[in-house]
Amino acid sequence: MADCRERVDTALRHWLPAAGSPPVRLHEAMRYATLGDGKRIRPVWVYAAGQALGGAPDCLDAPACAVELIHAYSLVHDDLPSMDDDDLRRGRRTCHKAFDEATALLAGDALQTLAFEVLALGGAGQIPAAARLEMIRHLARAAGSRGMVGGQALDLAATAREPGLVELENIHIHKTGALIRASVRLGTLCASHSDPARVEALDHYAKCVGLAFQVQDDILDLEGDTATLGKTSGKDVLQDKATYPALMGLDAAREKARELCHDALDSLAIFGEEAAPLRAIARFIVHRER
């Protein structure tokens, strides 16, 4: 994971506008929002899935950057006063607190569009045009109203009421899971020859780990402390949001995360050691502390 983070951070610095280039304040905000101390777990999934199918790291840099840019934009917008109204992200002030609300909004917009520029231009000569077009399609769908943004809308609509577990799972399959699933899919599209059975297995893995990631996030919001999490703990309770611990109880939520992890690992049975990083990431996300 450390190697992947270093690799994608180097690539992100290449793609992001220079801090001193005009409009200076906007570009500084874009870099601030993207280059903070993040886990880079979505790019790691791109690299791990691609390499499981024999994809070269050089071909995986562009999609890894693209998914992280989409994730960074989503965090900037989620933290705005009109959304979660948070002051802390990745252990420092949120973008709208470090700059201002208008600049943060524009920075998020710019990061989103940059993601698609990276996919369109990155890997030219290494990734066939048809594969890059397919990446753009998958990422656009995962980020839009039928994916992440739609999930956020469903989440806002469910605030201050108690949805059932089926509705909660639907929210998070879109809000959190869609981009994780797209990260794995973009990685597989970098492979020159992909066995359909293996691609399908990786997609099932991604669906399971995407939901497990959110269940563990809900648990950490309840049990974690602000210093460790790098963001304000206990916000879900304060905002009266539906969470897995709230609906199932803490012990049942932990068991849910473990079951999803096991299901993800089972889906990788047709792989050998080439999927070892994917297995390690699945275990990591249900045992992490931030």
Per-residue confidence band for 238, with pLDDT thresholds at 50, 70 and 90: low
Q: Which CATH number applies to 2-285: 3.30.1330.10, 2.70.98.10, 3.40.50.150, 1.10.600.10?
A: 1.10.600.10
Residue ranges per structural domain of the chain: 2-285
pLDDT at 141: 97
Residue 203, pLDDT above cutoff 80: yes
Average pLDDT, the chain: 92
Residue 98, pLDDT above cutoff 70: yes
Residue 230, pLDDT above cutoff 70: no
Cβ contacts of residue 86 below 8 Å, gap of 6+? Answer: 78, 79, 94, 231, 232, 235
pLDDT at 229: 66
pTM of the model as a whole: 0.94
Q: What is the pLDDT of residues 66-90, one digit of tens each?
A: 999 999 999 999 999 999 899 999 8
What Rg, from alpha-carbon coordinates, does the chain have?
18
Q: What is the pLDDT of residues 16-66, one digit of tens each?
A: 999 899 999 999 999 999 998 888 999 999 999 999 999 888 999 999 999
Q: Is the dihedral of CA 69, 72, 77, 83 positive or negative?
A: positive
Could you tell me which of 174, 173, 181 has the C-alpha nearest to residue 200?
A: 181
Average pLDDT estimate for 162-169: 89
Maximum Cα interatomic distance, the chain, rounded to a whole number of Å: 51
pLDDT at 228: 67
Residue 184, pLDDT above cutoff 90: yes
pLDDT at 216: 93
pLDDT at 214: 93
Could you tell me which of 98, 135, 131, 88 has the C-alpha nearest to residue 116?
A: 135
Q: Comparing 191 with 148, which gets the higher pLDDT?
A: 148
d(CA 72, CA 35): 9
